[in-house]
Amino acid sequence: MVNKLLADGTVLVKGLTSKKGSKFDVHLKYEKNPDNEYFSWKMGFAENKD
């Protein structure tokens, strides 16, 4: 997963659970904040095919 994140800049994480108990998939991206020197995770929700 780390190799894919470093190569592509984003990685799909499957099967996370929300506070309400729903399962979901998410695309994670680690990027530098434009306003400072810090990095943060950005999430883009993937469509579940249940």
Give the pLDDT of residue 35. 92
CA 43 to mean position of chain CA atoms: 4
pLDDT means over runs of 10, the chain (50 residues): 88 92 92 90 73
pLDDT of residue 2: 87
Per-residue model confidence (pLDDT) at position 26: 93
From the list 34, 35, 41, the residue with the least C-alpha distance to 11 is 41
Model pLDDT, residue 6: 84
pTM more than 0.85 = no
C-beta separation of 26 from 46 below 8 A: yes
pLDDT value of residue 11: 93
- Using CA of residue 39, residue 29, residue 14, residue 1, what is the dihedral sign? negative
